[in-house]
Structure 1
């Protein structure tokens, strides 16, 4: 009788404990089957990953190493939350990831912020994954030494668009115009493919015959070159040159963006005239 009472009390406790212990793996299996989670990056958790090297595609000098175990685990959790998809993003990658485990290095490409339906923004030669946007946030959290300019996307691209708009009449006369940002080394680390796609749409609205230069200088009659000349929390300066091969003219525009009362005031100099406060 005593044994019967003991089993009546203890057996349910054992069953509940077993369910609690197996609950996480059960949920994980369900998520994997529903493609809400993947196991392709479990090797990061199972093996000792020495470091993850993250390299900017546009800025060869922008390379950093993640070797803190917690940061590596954060990256693993985000990657494992990514769903496997059938094809890669059509956009150019922004970063290359190298996951180093001893002598073995696994390489992936990552497109920041890409949300094309059914395409992967984190991929290697064999598989593609649609990973959450917080991977980008995790990267930035580990870059405490990086001070991205305030409202970068607005002031950077608007400065270029305003110069093009100012020159629109002369650039519309049968000119094929190319915008070259590849030499703007101070800002390349902040430029992502998703933002460039939006910028291209704005360019075409301003001037239909304009496009970004991509190692094809010879295809353009006029090259607009962009070069940052310094920034802080309230001022952003950009030198934009317009090299017109058709009429052999070359003009420099000094653009100053000042932050005043939650808004940016963008001023463009007269051609080849350096402002006093430059």
Structure 2
């Protein structure tokens, strides 16, 4: 009996030592700015619901009520690094933390990916944090519809540039500025992220820019409208995963010259076979 008592005491001492060590490590991280105590209210059970709203597609809103998932969000947010400024990029999601079904306890804007200038990618009116990609990997990727399609960026931004090249060659409008309008491309809005747009803008020549608003001034406006993605065996269903031999992406791209009031329209069909083969035509084919 005495041996069992000593064993239990030893176990309790070890557990207490481990907990003490963990607390000391957490305190050190807080002092170094690598951890924070700002989200203790989540740990205390004050958050009953988290609503995740895509900022570009109002139709994509997800509600999290599972206590395990909310606890996982606490673990991620408590490891966020507090900083003094926020990213200059537009938010990709809005996180609303509800105290009950109707009362918002706190709300944050969130930018997917880390800011290259160390600005906070999760922020409220007066709090800014750098949050690792665990929100993307552990939270957002649990929603199938939010997973970015394979090769999406490579395909999408490539054909936008190719359409510009074709338009300039067809119209000889080499000197006019072009504004790219993807704000109304609702079919893929949920897959467009600010960090990707920033990288794309930096790759463009000086007389081509992404329009922040659809009606921003430019000589020629290029508007992209995705009409669908048809995968093998699914005649009319839009599918963005499981790319196969017969996978097809389709889009209509309009160029509107604000000076001449002329419109030039292109039809884009991209087929996948060991890579994307993009075809751009000013005539609508029978298989569009």
Distance 1:93 1:147, change over 3 A: closer
Query: Following TM superposition, by how much is the alpha carbon of 1:142 offset from its aligned partner in structure 2, in angstroms?
Result: 2.4
**Which of 249, 252, 258 does residue 265 from structure 2 map onto?**
252
Distance in 2, matches of 1:276 and 1:254, equals 11
Using the TM superposition, give the Cα deviation of residue 104 of structure 1 relative to its aligned residue in structure 2, in angstroms: 4.0
Offset, 1:13: 7.0
Separation in 1 of the partners of 2:7 and 2:177?
83
Does residue 92 of the first structure (1) align with residue 98 of the second (2)? Answer: no
What residue is the counterpart of 2:184 in the other structure? 183
Q: CA deviation at 1:177?
A: 1.4
Which residue number corresponds to residue 276 of structure 1?
286
Larger Rg: 1
SS of aligned partner of 1:187: helix
Report the more deviating stretch, 86-95 or 44-53. 44-53
**1:240 aligned onto 2:250:** no
| Aligned CA distance change for structure 1 residues 156 and 13 (closer, same or farther; 3 Å) | closer
- What is aligned with 1:118? 118
Give the total of aligned pairs.
Answer: 268
Taking a change above 3 Å as real, the CA distance of residues 26 and 258 of structure 1, as seen in their structure-2 partners, is: same
- With over 3 angstroms needed to count, the CA separation of the structure-2 counterparts of 1:108 and 1:139, relative to structure 1, is same
Which of 24, 27, 49 does residue 25 from structure 2 map onto?
27
Shift, 1:9, TM fit? 9.9
Q: 1:146 to 1:16 in 2, by over 3 A?
A: closer
CA deviation map 1:83-110 (0-9, x unaligned):
1011000111111110011234311111
Deviations 1:164-190 (A, max 9, x none): 111235464442211111111111101
- The answer to whether structure 1 residue 167 and structure 2 residue 167 are counterparts is yes
For 1:55-87, what per-residue CA distance to the aligned partner results, in whole angstroms no more than 9, with x for missing partners? Answer: 111112211111111211221111111110110
Question: For residue 82 of structure 1, what is the aligned residue in structure 2?
Answer: 80
d(CA) in 1 for partners of 2:195, 2:122: 14
Q: Is the 8 A contact 1:95 1:109 kept in 2?
A: yes
Root-mean-square deviation over aligned CA pairs: 2.5
Residues of 2 paired with 1:10 and 1:221: CA distance?
79
- 2:108 aligns to what? 108
TM-score norm. by structure 1 comes to 0.87
For residues 153-164 of structure 1, the aligned pairs below 5 Å read 153-164=153-164
User: In 2 relative to 1, CA 268–31 (structure 1 residues): closer, same or farther, beyond 3 Å?
Assistant: same
Cα distance in 1, alignment partners of residues 85 and 220 from structure 2 = 36
TM-score in terms of structure 2 length: 0.85
Shift of 1:259: 1.2
Query: Which residue number in structure 2 is paired with residue 69 of structure 1?
Result: 67
Question: Equivalent residues in 2 for 1:185-200 (5 A)?
Answer: 185-200=186-201
Q: Which residue of 1 aligns with 2:236?
A: none
**Secondary structure of 1:118's aligned partner:** coil
Paired with 2:252 and 2:268, the residues of 1 have a C-alpha distance of: 6
Distance verdict in 2 for CA 1:147–1:235, change over 3 Å: farther
Is the contact between residue 229 and residue 237 of structure 1 (CA under 8 Å) also seen in structure 2? yes
Check whether the contact 1:171–1:177 (CA below 8 A) recurs between aligned residues: no
